[in-house]
Structure formats: structure tokens, C-alpha cells
Structure 1
Amino acid sequence: MKVKEVADLVGISVRTLHYYDEIGLLTPDTVTESGYRLYSDDNLELLQQILFFREMGLPLKKLKRL
């Protein structure tokens, strides 16, 4: 799935997904030659976990260490 599709599916911004990639928290399985980030089902599962822990108030730095 492309970034916009994932963002719409889970209700977060495209910028948030880009940021998670920048800090190494959620790296897409594939980046095309033209720079499109493509997310797999495994990526979506990890994203759901990240969003759950964020909802619980866990900071991104701690999430990254987990």
C-alpha cells in the first residue's frame, strides 16, 4: 500500500508516516525507484502496535528501543 492509502486507513497523516520512516521507527518494505514508499501487511501490523502504544502515552524514543 502507498503512504496515502495507509494514512487514510489508520487515520494518521502522511507526514507522520514519513516521520516514522525518518527516525527508523517504521520503515516501509519497499521504496520504488521514484521514491514511493510501499507498506506491507507486516508494516501495517507494526504500525497498529505503534499507534496502540502511542495512545497509551509511550514516547517515540521508548517505542523505537522496543
Structure 2
Amino acid sequence: MRPISVSWVHTWHLPVGYAADVVEICEDLCTGKGMFVEHFGISMIGVLAAAKAADFFEALVPVG
């Protein structure tokens, strides 16, 4: 079994934390569904946020 590097674990946890931040912002500021425009490099943040709180997202738009 191959050991998991610390950098890989850290990278894997980052999108989850950022997605939680996006959901928290939506809970505080959003009044309805909206469109989440995201750069292709970090699009997983939008996907995770939409999976956690689909009521806030009408569409995810990856750019780039």
C-alpha cells in the first residue's frame, strides 16, 4: 500500500472548506437561486457547494 502524501491530503480538503464557505455566504446573502460562474481550475468548489445546498444554485457555469 502506497502512503498518502501530506500535500495530496491538504489539496483534497481545500475544495470542501471553500465549498462550505460558499454555502455559508449563500445562506447569509442569497434571496433565491443564482448562477455560480467558476473558473475551470476550481470548478469542484461549485459542484460541492451545489451538492450540499442545491436550493441556492440554478446553474453552474465553468469558464476556461
Give the TM-score normalised by the residue count of structure 1: 0.27
- Of structures 1 and 2, the one with the larger relative CO (CA 8 A, separation 6+) is 2
Name the larger-Rg structure. Answer: 2
**Greater helix share, 1 or 2?**
2
Give the TM-score normalised by the residue count of structure 2: 0.28
**Greater strand share, 1 or 2?**
2
